[in-house]
A and B are shown apart, each in its own frame.
Chain A
Amino acid sequence: MQEQSVRAARPRPRRISVFDGQDLKKAMSAGAEWLEAHKEAINALNVFPVPDGDTGSNMSATMQAAIRAIVDSSETSAGLIASKLAHGALLGARGNSGVILSQTLRGLAHGLDKKTTFTAAELANALQEAAILAYRAVLKPVEGTILTVVRDSAEAARLSAQRGDDLLGLMHEVVMAARQSVAHTPGLLPILKQAGVVDAGGQGFCTLLEGILRYIRGEAGVNIVPMSANGASAAADEPPVKKGRVTVEEEFGYEVVFLLRGNNLNVDEIRQHIIDMGGVSTVVAGDEKLLKVHTHALTPGKILDYGVSLGSLLDINIENLQEQSLAYAAESEAEHAAEAKAEQLSSAVVAVVSGKGFEKVFEGLGVNAIVPGGQSMNPSIEELLAAVEAAPSENVIILPNNGNVILSAQQVAGLTQKQIYVVPSETLPQGIAAMSRFNFEADFATNCDTMKGAVKDIQTAEITTAVRTVQIGGVRVREGDYIGLINGNLAVAGQDMEQVIQDTLQRMNMERYEIVTLYYGADIDETQAQATAQRMKERYPHLELQVVDGGQPYYAYILSAE
């Protein structure tokens, strides 16, 4: 690049026809600098599980290593500079994204091999090499990642070079395409969409390209503005413009192909009608008796209905284009695809739970669905059935966690095609004990067996208030008394809650247990619960005690000993 200021030459910048090694060095340094400035924002995109962590830092470290290999070089051959860059990146590659980036630079070096200078067309070729090596660097290429962005960038470069753009024009097109490609990544990779982010590696590559473009424009080193976490450049000097000529926008929905047999079929009219119905890439060919229809549509059913209204359909073939699609628009399609792919488990668990805290406990242990309910608000069979049907397995284990729910849970078995097992858990702690023994790797029968057994391994005490006066099993209770139940049986009654708790524990022979979990109810605050736990600890110092916000109604405390 010539030493004159490109900015000063606006609005008609001088055509930049060739780069030599020093130009390449400065451009890549500017790119690396831009990447370094934005690495934290790129790290912030890294919210979903990626092996070998922190994409922004890893990519920047890789680029820094590449730049260190050329920073002192006065070499003017572009090919040699590119080769040194690639070597440096290879040595310093960090993380998966870094390795892919290093392979991209290696591809660039292959493309520029033995070239003292390069033109836009030669750069476009080198970028194609870069894309190929990037794909080869991974075992199973996944779209919606840096790979897609590299490929889309290379494709934009090719088209730009074909049109005769100079290096500035080409890099502009490349950056536009990269930004658009990054914005599309959530449409290709459901996990990105779930996390609400664009792909970090793709964004890193795009940021590198932006830095290079800034250099070619003469803007490098000024106005470094951090990016926001959603990946959009906060600098906002160039919003991601959608290019009308990018035909990938049309690749969405379903590919519908069929033969239509009828009488007096009008090829042109049928083609136009399908286009009006939203059909894209529509081809209708044949004669008035038999013709072939090919189209892409969001709702294949409508196209087929239309076909049926004209004659009879043969050889119907419908394929979901989502997998290969680069369409961001087809969001609902992607969701359906993700749902369809939801893993079918060997067993799923549905638990009946009351109390926000208990819900969290069960979710944390990995139950697949929670049906709210319990004491005085037993769930309907219909509610249980709905949860069972929605569970991601043909084999469903139900944890009723209440003596009054067990029967309705058992009724579900007769209403579904699925295999059902009801663990006889009568209390929430019994359900927790069963769930902690649920083996994620074992088969259904084994789990039913161990979970049933686990229910007996735990003792439950419940402290609540009597709603009426009664005498059961020798325990006299007046309305409003505190009562202690052990495994669902009335054991203790009295007017002082602390005394009732103490008496209940005594009846349970706490000496035999090693861990006690105290779940406090919605009407108890944490300080109160901690004080209760403290008194228990003083009385039974051998116990490991955990206090958990159960949030259950009616029961001041639910306690488990094991």
Chain B
Amino acid sequence: MTIRILTDSTADIPADEAQAHGITIVPLTVFFGEEAYRDGVDLDNAGFYRKLQASKDLPRTSQPSPAQFQEQYQRLLAEGAEGILSIHLSSKLSGTYQSACTARDMLAETGNTIPIEVLDTLSISVGMSRAILRAADAAREGRSMQELKALVADELARTRILAVLDTLEFLKRGGRIGNAQALLGNMLSVKPIVSLRDGEVVRVEQPRTRSKAYARIAQLVGEMGKIEHISIAEASEDVGQQLAEAIKSVYSGELTFYKLGAVLGTHTGPGTAAVAAVIAL
């Protein structure tokens, strides 16, 4: 094994799966008031949504510090890595990518010559997790940095993400929605469908009910053409299952389920279910 794969906690890859694939995960931080929790380490999916219900403080998030990345890079280099591919969530949604770049530059200044490549996926969660897992497997087969980067770029280019939320409030509060600068409070209860465009969250449609939203997502997935794989990220099992039921009307292949982590939860709120569809070549 020569090239090591590193990502951040917003990939929503569970710790055991990451370990099995030899992936290092650097956690972002979620704050409830002054209390800090490492995403996926101190706070898992269920723990987060419990806290969200119970806490009077609304959570906030922060990117990992450059030092956190530096420490992990150094550890991988000490373990004999001949290259590190560091794959991260959209730089438009978080400073994580920037922190990773800073860490890479600091190591270069102190004389590191082993290549550390930092990738901005312009995606998040299940939108990037399969690309990361596939890259990790290919890395263990001894593929070159060039090949790994090409593999990730190809997978990302073929991946579309759609999510249904209970409300846009959480996204708006965190300033993480792109095409809705003038978005006002919605008088009607809607279950917005959102997607990613150029690394930013954008709203797509605003159905009035969840069942309409699931049906509409399934319809949009159906219009994408031949699908190679679908992953679902869920705030809770019930919403993931409901979305999956709708998706089954247009897709009969394998479905992989992931739990949305605390950082994603902070910015999307309860009741979120996302689908990442990888379009076949």
A540 beta carbon closer than 8 Å to chain B:
no
Per-residue B-contact encoding for A132-163, CB less than 8 Å = 1, 0 else: 00001111000000000000000000000000
Report whether A360 and B190 are in contact in the complex, using a CB–CB cutoff of 8 Å.
Answer: no
Find B206's partner among A90, A365, A562 (CB 8 Å cutoff). A365
Per-residue A-contact encoding for B52-92, CB less than 8 Å = 1, 0 else: 00000000111101110000000000000000000000011
Report whether A96 and B98 are in contact in the complex, using a CB–CB cutoff of 8 Å.
Answer: yes
What's the Cα separation between A58 and B205 when bound, in Å?
A: 35
Per-residue B-contact encoding for A89-105, CB less than 8 Å = 1, 0 else: 01111111001001100
Q: Is the interface of B mostly helix, strand, loop or mixed?
A: loop
Find A139's partner among B93, B98, B180, B183 (CB 8 Å cutoff). B98
Report whether A99 and B186 are in contact in the complex, using a CB–CB cutoff of 8 Å.
Answer: no
Stretch in A434-442, A462-470, A481-489 with 4+ CB within 8 Å of B: A434-442
Question: B93: which A residues are within 8 A, CB to CB?
Answer: 51
Question: B186: which A residues are within 8 A, CB to CB?
Answer: 361, 364-365
Find A548's partner among B65, B94, B179, B188 (CB 8 Å cutoff). B188
Give min CB distance, B138 to chain A, whole Å: 27
Find A96's partner among B60, B95, B189, B207 (CB 8 Å cutoff). B95
Report whether A515 and B208 are in contact in the complex, using a CB–CB cutoff of 8 Å.
Answer: yes
Chain A interface residue count: which class? 35 or more
What's the Cα separation between A51 and B89 when bound, in Å?
A: 13
Q: Is the interface of A mostly helix, strand, loop or mixed?
A: mixed
Question: A364: which B residues are within 8 A, CB to CB?
Answer: 183-188
Given known pairs A51-B175, A96-B95, A99-B65, the reply for A360 and B187 (CB within 8 Å) is yes
B window 89-115: CB within 8 A of A? 91-95, 97-99, 101-102, 105-106
Question: B241: which A residues are within 8 A, CB to CB?
Answer: none
Find B188's partner among A53, A92, A517 (CB 8 Å cutoff). A517
Report whether A99 and B205 are in contact in the complex, using a CB–CB cutoff of 8 Å.
Answer: no
What's the Cα separation between A136 and B204 when bound, in Å?
A: 35
A544 beta carbon closer than 8 Å to chain B:
yes
Minimal Cβ-Cβ distance residue in A for B207: A436
A263 beta carbon closer than 8 Å to chain B:
no
Report whether A440 and B65 are in contact in the complex, using a CB–CB cutoff of 8 Å.
Answer: no
A window 476-497: CB within 8 A of B? none
B window 157-210: CB within 8 A of A? 174-177, 179-180, 183-190, 195, 197, 202-209
A173 beta carbon closer than 8 Å to chain B:
no
Minimal Cβ-Cβ distance residue in A for B186: A364
What's the Cα separation between A48 and B190 when bound, in Å?
A: 24
What's the Cα separation between A441 and B192 when bound, in Å?
A: 13
A366 beta carbon closer than 8 Å to chain B:
yes
A window 350-383: CB within 8 A of B? 357, 360-361, 363-366
Give min CB distance, A145 to chain B, whole Å: 13
Report whether B211 and A514 are in contact in the complex, using a CB–CB cutoff of 8 Å.
Answer: yes
Question: A50: which B residues are within 8 A, CB to CB?
Answer: 175
Minimal Cβ-Cβ distance residue in B for A137: B102
Given known pairs A95-B95, A137-B98, the reply for A361 and B187 (CB within 8 Å) is yes
Find B175's partner among A49, A95, A365, A435 (CB 8 Å cutoff). A49
Minimal Cβ-Cβ distance residue in B for A358: B187
Given known pairs A138-B98, A440-B179, A514-B209, the reply for A58 and B62 (CB within 8 Å) is yes
Report whether B187 and A366 are in contact in the complex, using a CB–CB cutoff of 8 Å.
Answer: no
Report whether B101 and A515 are in contact in the complex, using a CB–CB cutoff of 8 Å.
Answer: no
What's the Cα separation between A435 and B91 when bound, in Å?
A: 31
Give min CB distance, A67 to chain B, whole Å: 16
Report whether A361 and B102 are in contact in the complex, using a CB–CB cutoff of 8 Å.
Answer: no
What's the Cα separation between A138 and B92 when bound, in Å?
A: 12
Question: A437: which B residues are within 8 A, CB to CB?
Answer: 205, 207
Report whether B98 and A91 are in contact in the complex, using a CB–CB cutoff of 8 Å.
Answer: no
Report whether B202 and A441 are in contact in the complex, using a CB–CB cutoff of 8 Å.
Answer: yes
Question: A514: which B residues are within 8 A, CB to CB?
Answer: 209, 211
Minimal Cβ-Cβ distance residue in B for A140: B91
What's the Cα separation between A137 and B65 when bound, in Å?
A: 12
Question: A177: which B residues are within 8 A, CB to CB?
Answer: none
27 examples of A-B residue contacts, CB within 8 angstroms:
A50-B175, A53-B62, A54-B60, A90-B67, A92-B65, A94-B65, A99-B63, A99-B65, A360-B185, A361-B188, A364-B183, A364-B184, A364-B187, A365-B186, A365-B206, A366-B203, A436-B190, A436-B207, A436-B208, A437-B207, A439-B204, A440-B179, A441-B195, A441-B202, A441-B204, A517-B188, A517-B208
Q: A51-B175, A95-B63, A440-B202 are in contact. List 5 more A-B contacts (CB 8 A).
A: A49-B174, A91-B65, A95-B62, A357-B187, A364-B187
A residues at B contact (CB < 8 Å) = 48-54, 58, 90-96, 99, 102-103, 136-139, 357, 360-361, 363-366, 432, 435-441, 514-515, 517, 544, 546, 548-549, 562
